[in-house]
Amino acid sequence: MQLGTGGKSYREQKVVAVTRKDQVYSILRQAIISSQLAPGEAIRKELVALQLGVSRTPVSDAINRLADEGLVEIYPQTGTFVARLRLDKIETAQFVRIALETAAIRRAAERSSADTVHSLRNNLDRQRKAAEIRDFEGFYALDEELHDMICDAAGLVGLREIASKERSQIDRVRRLLLHYETRMVETLKEHEAIVAAIADNSVERAVATMEDHISKMGKMLLQLQTKRPELFAS
Amino acid sequence: MQLGTGGKSYREQKVVAVTRKDQVYSILRQAIISSQLAPGEAIRKELVALQLGVSRTPVSDAINRLADEGLVEIYPQTGTFVARLRLDKIETAQFVRIALETAAIRRAAERSSADTVHSLRNNLDRQRKAAEIRDFEGFYALDEELHDMICDAAGLVGLREIASKERSQIDRVRRLLLHYETRMVETLKEHEAIVAAIADNSVERAVATMEDHISKMGKMLLQLQTKRPELFAS
DNA sequence: CAATAACATCTAACATGTTACATATTAGCT
DNA sequence: AGCTAATATGTAACATGTTAGATGTTATTG
């Protein structure tokens, strides 16, 4: 079969273009990760379209993207549901996250500048303030920002987006866990250790600290399953 | 804003469902990775729809997915183009690939069974035959299969799909490179070394061999840019 | 002739109508 | 009552019509 046109036109510059499907995607993703849309809950495209004042098309597009990301499950001709948590999938996501972020922090630690360290410390300051006033949402956002900053510090185009996408499953869990506990204080300490290692140019210590930090979540997860079994699938 | 229905219905079993958009996606992806659709070339949705005998909808859906994967670039209200190769993006993909596949092979080597080793060796046998008769396409497919098998051997649900998706960019390059040279013979040798390390349960050697194997491609890439600059963007 | 503005053209984005299919419900039968 | 088959219902998948915006071309003006 003959595909393509043989035409050679193309574009040089990148356009940012925020389309409606992008907006719908962001809104739904946020709703899912914050558990405003609970695991297992049905999503009715038509209703969402109505509520957001758009047609079904951008909603479908957004949902397809979320399905690729594993945040929703589409059953053809039947329905679309917020994906429930699955321990095996989360285990894989955890594995991927450790692989990517330890590799990233290694590169970041090797090439970290005084400027980078300054930004990281600034983030930590804000984390401390958020922790003090028990601002879960704020702390969560800063947590994400810190991990993003480390990805960026690795100096690889698009790495942050990839890591962030693979983190989706885990972000959902992390958000749920943050509310439970003393976890915020512990997390802060771990973050401080990570940044300190980078500041010291201790590459291997940075890697080890990051791995330890990410692994901690695995244990918390099992507790969550006991407390909230309805969120889980298999 | 109120999203969701509060409804709690959901499904247990997984449906496979090959929809038209999945088929179109596979066809286009294959066409892009095989360079039947060349980097920079325009893709006309309407034409593709006509040629495949479907409407524009499944074509758009497929293209959106390819855009997420970085294989096409959509410029709103303007056109859709096969993504040209970008050294910086490829560098990131390479980084991700090394991070994921070395981590995967570590796990795979730790838990490899006689059965796994047998399957890997069977694959190598077929690679040898393909190399002998200069069957580039066959060799390429077996190459992919080997890497997939190693991912599977890590025993993590969905890891293969993630690794495979992140490899897209690189697969395109690898395919172009295979035709050029003695690369097929070299690749075979590297694969043999990897499998041997797994068979010996030499975890660290397996990791090192894999990293070396993947890194080799980086050097070939620069040669490709010299020979075929029109495939590259920046 | 150069710069610019009006306009034509083309495409993706968006809207909406239609179809096919999975599932639940009900009716009919033993 | 219990089982099976016909049917109703609801949803995603698919088709197609419409809109908005990016770009290239041509006309207009200095």
DSSP annotation string for A169-220? HHHHHHHHHHTTSTHHHHHHHHHHHHHHHHHTT-HHHHHHHHHHHHHHHHHH
Which are the contacts of B125, defined by CB distance < 8 A and separation ≥ 6? Answer: none
- Residues 71-110, chain A: which have Cβ under 7 A from strand C? 75-78
| A65 sits within 7 Å of strand C by its CB | no
**Mean pLDDT on A121-138:** 94
A96, B162 contact by CB (below 8 A) = yes
A146, A123 contact by CB (below 8 A) = yes
B180 in helix, strand or coil?
coil
pLDDT of amino acid B128: 96
Q: Give phi and psi for A216, each to the nearest 5.
A: -50, -40
Answer whether residue A3 shows pLDDT above 60.
Answer: no
Q: How far is CA B97 from the centre of its chain?
A: 10
Tens-level pLDDT at each residue, chain B (234 residues): 444 444 333 444 444 568 999 999 999 999 999 999 999 999 999 999 999 999 999 999 999 999 999 999 999 999 999 999 999 999 999 999 999 999 999 999 999 899 999 999 999 999 999 999 999 889 999 999 999 999 999 999 999 999 999 999 999 998 888 777 678 889 999 999 999 999 999 999 999 999 999 998 888 888 889 988 889 987
| A54 sits within 7 Å of strand D by its CB | no
CATH topology (fold) of A87-231: Four Helix Bundle (Hemerythrin (Met), subunit A) (1.20.120)
pLDDT averaged over chain A? 90
| B21 sits within 7 Å of strand D by its CB | yes
* Residue among A107, A192, A105 at smallest CA distance from A143: A192
Class at the top of the CATH hierarchy for domain A20-82:
mainly alpha
**For the stretch B168-189, what's the b/e string if a residue is b when 16 or more beta carbons lie within 10 angstroms of its beta carbon?**
bbbbbbbbbbbeeeebbeebbe
pLDDT category at A181 given cuts 50, 70, 90 is: low
Residue with tokens 């993947």: B214
**What residues form DSSP beta bridges with B43?**
B80
Considering only the C-alpha atoms of chain A, give the largest distance between any 2 of them, rounded to a whole number of Å: 64
A59 at the B interface (CB within 8 A)? no
Domains B20-82 and B87-231 share a fold: no
Strand ranges of the sheet holding B79-82, from the earlier edge strand across to the other edge: B42-43, B79-82, B72-75
Answer whether residue A180 shows pLDDT above 90.
Answer: no
What is the Cα–Cα distance from A80 to B2, expressed in whole angstroms? 17
Answer whether residue A143 shows pLDDT above 60.
Answer: yes
* Residue among A53, A85, A43 at smallest CA distance from A232: A85
* Residue among A124, A119, A104, A95 at smallest CA distance from A206: A104
pLDDT of amino acid A7: 36
Between chains, do B3 and A28 touch, taking CB under 8 Å as contact? yes
Q: Where are the domains of chain A?
A: 20-82, 87-231
pLDDT of amino acid B6: 40
B47 nearest nucleotide via C1' and CA:
C11
Cα-based angle A159, A189, A151 (whole degrees, multiple of 5): 5
pLDDT of amino acid B1: 47
**Mean pLDDT on A64-84:** 96
- Residues 106-145, chain B: which have Cβ under 7 A from strand D? none
Answer whether residue A53 shows pLDDT above 80.
Answer: yes
pLDDT of amino acid B83: 96
What is the Cα–Cα distance from A59 to A48, expressed in whole angstroms? 7
